[in-house]
Amino acid sequence: MSRLSAIALSIGCVLMGFTFANTRVSARADDVQVVRRLPYTVNSGDRVTLTYATGSFGTGPSVVECTVKAEGGGWVLCSDDDPATATRDQHWYDLTRVVEVKREAR
């Protein structure tokens, strides 16, 4: 009986291999793992670099550097006196399109 089981298992594995060999897999831009909130190691007053998914700002830059003032509901507030945000009208940034968060060492 064990020889018959080994043969049946081998045939089943070969058939499964042929089945999955023709399966196509493709990555879409929507499949990017996004950040929903800042990592627990990032606190108020920390300087961070937020890297956004391609096309998040249209043709503009896809990186924002700021000093964290607050966070809530998937948004981060950059400090008003931060030189990186002083020239911008908006200080709240959406985290749903962020693909990487880098925290500068203190």
Residue-range domain boundaries for the chain: 29-103
* 53 vs 35: which has the higher pLDDT: 53
- In the structure, what pLDDT confidence band is assigned to residue 100 with cuts at 50, 70 and 90? confident
- In the structure, what pLDDT confidence band is assigned to residue 83 with cuts at 50, 70 and 90? low
What pLDDT was estimated at residue 51? 86
- What fold, for 29-103? SH3 type barrels. (2.30.30)
One-letter amino acid at 58 equals G
Dihedral sign, CA of 68, 77, 41, 56? negative
* 35 vs 66: which has the higher pLDDT: 66
What pLDDT was estimated at residue 50? 86
- In the structure, what pLDDT confidence band is assigned to residue 96 with cuts at 50, 70 and 90? confident
Dihedral sign, CA of 80, 84, 88, 93? negative
**E strand intervals along 1-106:** 47-52, 63-72, 75-78, 92-94, 98-103
- In the structure, what pLDDT confidence band is assigned to residue 14 with cuts at 50, 70 and 90? confident
